[in-house]
Amino acid sequence: MDVLPTNSAQNPLFQKIEKIRRRQPKVRDTHITLAHGSGGKAMRDLIDDIFVQSFDNPILSQLEDQASFNLANLMQQGDRLAFTTDSYVVDPLFFPGSDIGELAINGTINDLAVSGAKPLYLTCSVILEEGLPIETLRCVVTSMKAAANQAGIQIVTGDTKVVHRGAADKLFINTAGIGIIPPGIEISAHKIQPGDAIIINGELGNHGAAILIARGELALDTNIESDCQPLHGLVETILNVCPEVHAMRDATRGGLATVLNEFALSSDVGIRLYEQSIPVREEVKGVCELLGLDPLYLANEGKLVVVVPKQKAEAVLAAMKSHPSGKDAAIIGEAIPSPSGVVLLKTIFNAERIVDMLVGDQLPRIC
């Protein structure tokens, strides 16, 4: 038969075709199987039912292998494009105050925001372990969607891989993001000058402590919650009063100590911190004392380290305090000409010690 008689209900091929047409993209399985990563029908249904319907936007719905944007429209928002990526492997997936889905959105938003960029579009690539409950995936994706909505960004393209049982731990997420940097903003870890003020937007270590407690290995009962939050609103507030911000970074893995060591090395300056000015919750201090940890190295997921010229410090601090994400902001230190590449802490007993880069591992899989 050369021409297929598509209008004949008696034709078995036609019946098959009608069956294909009536398919609804609906995941009926209760758990992820290898078929969900095969590229075939099960994968398409998973993507349609869970990702496309949740993230719901016209770019993603095209289901092309890439999203595309008009460059002229992007240029109306600024003159430079920022581009970043992060993988999220936090264990457990859900923890007090947040979960891996919200983290995967806010973490990448923050890596864009610290360049001064307005975050616009994110990708979502997941690696799923065979056997993961579909309901778990739905919860994570719902959380991603809520975080994306809150931050005003869109998830425009993605990828789904499934590995066999035991080849991954439940669920890993990668998000990449692009954003636009407004004209005149040049923030870099290389631009810090001696005399610059170091400002933080709030309490350190809540995320790391929350994860540690959520693992349940310690019989601790606290109300510490992750500080996971998007920081681009706060960054915009800061840039409004101080477009000449020298350096800015979110203190995630490795904590404040790591960011400041990176700053000191990149800008060839020293940094002196004042312990008494650094905001840390009493509960977090307690957890740290119990476990021999240092809050300066604990992970955060909503803490911004801002370095500004000294004469702008008070104006920036006031602006930060006016924003919900910066109400506990504090000036915690200053850049000094020497010893270059080194971070020093002036303790509450007025002694001085080196705050080195983290050697070894304080706490694995916190982001």
Q: Which of residues 150-169 bind a copy of itself (CB under 8 A)?
A: 156-159, 161-164, 166-169
Binding to a copy of itself in span 183-202, by CB under 8 A: 188-190
Per CB under 8 A, which region of 144-152, 226-234, 288-296, 335-343 contacts a copy of itself?
335-343
The site for a copy of itself, by CB under 8 A, has a size of: 107
Binding a copy of itself (rule: CB under 8 A), the pick from 54, 174, 267, 300 is 174
Find the part of the chain contacting a copy of itself (CB under 8 A) among 145-153, 182-190, 229-237, 287-295: 182-190
Per-residue interface string for the shown chain with a copy of itself, residues 127-146, x marking contact by CB under 8 A: x-------------------
Q: Do the Cβ atoms of 203 and 225 come closer than 8 Å?
A: no
The phi, psi pair for 151, rounded to 5°, reads -90, -10
For 197-229, b/e burial (b = at least 16 CB within 10 A) is bbbbbbbbbbbbbbbbbbeeeeeeeeebbbbbb
Distance between CA atoms of residues 32 and 204, nearest Å: 37
Contact positions with a copy of itself (CB under 8 A) in 339-358: 339, 341-342, 344, 352, 354, 356-358
Residue 264 CB, shortest distance to a copy of itself, in Å, is 10
- Taking the least distance from each CB to a copy of itself, the nearer of 38 and 223 is 38
Residue 224: name the closest of 236, 212, 239, 242 by CA: 212
Distance in Å, CB of 3 to a copy of itself, minimum: 9
Binding to a copy of itself (CB under 8 A): which residues in 274-313? Answer: 297, 299
Site map 235..274 versus a copy of itself, x via CB under 8 A: --------------xx-xxxx--x---x---x--------
DSSP 246-305: -EEEE--TTHHHHHHHHHHHHHT-EEEEEGGGS---HHHHHHHHHHT--GGGS--SS-EE
Q: Is 13 in the site for a copy of itself (CB under 8 A)?
A: yes
Q: What angle, 0 to 180 degrees and rounded to 10, lies between the N-to-C axes of helices 206-214 and 282-291?
A: 60
Site string for a copy of itself, 51-90 (x = CB under 8 A): -----------xxxxxxxxxxx-xx--xxxxxxxxxxxx-
Closer by beta carbon to a copy of itself, 194 or else 222: 194
DSSP 153: -
From 31, 33, 236, 323, residue interacting with a copy of itself (rule: CB under 8 A): 33
Q: Are 243 and 319 in contact (CB under 8 A)?
A: no
Maximum alpha-carbon separation in the chain? 92
**Other residues' Cβ atoms within 10 Å of the Cβ of residue 186:** 13
Quickly tell me which residue has 């009063």 as its tokens: 241
User: CB of 281: closest distance to a copy of itself in angstroms?
Assistant: 21
Q: Which phi and psi angles does 365 have, rounded to 5°?
A: 55, 50
Of the candidates 334, 330, 352, which has an alpha carbon nearest to the alpha carbon of residue 278? Answer: 330
Please give the Cα distance from 206 to 224 (Å, whole number). 6
The candidate with the shortest Cα–Cα distance to 85, out of 138, 125, 127, is 125
Q: Which of 137, 141, 180, 332 binds a copy of itself (CB under 8 A)?
A: 180
Q: Of the two residues 274 and 321, which places its CB atom closer to a copy of itself in the complex? A: 274
Q: How far is the CB of 222 from a copy of itself (least distance, A)?
A: 23
Measured from the CB atom, the residue of 282 and 351 that comes closer to a copy of itself is 351
Closer to a copy of itself by Cβ: residue 169 or 236 = 169
Whichever of 59 and 220 has its CB closer to a copy of itself, that residue is 59
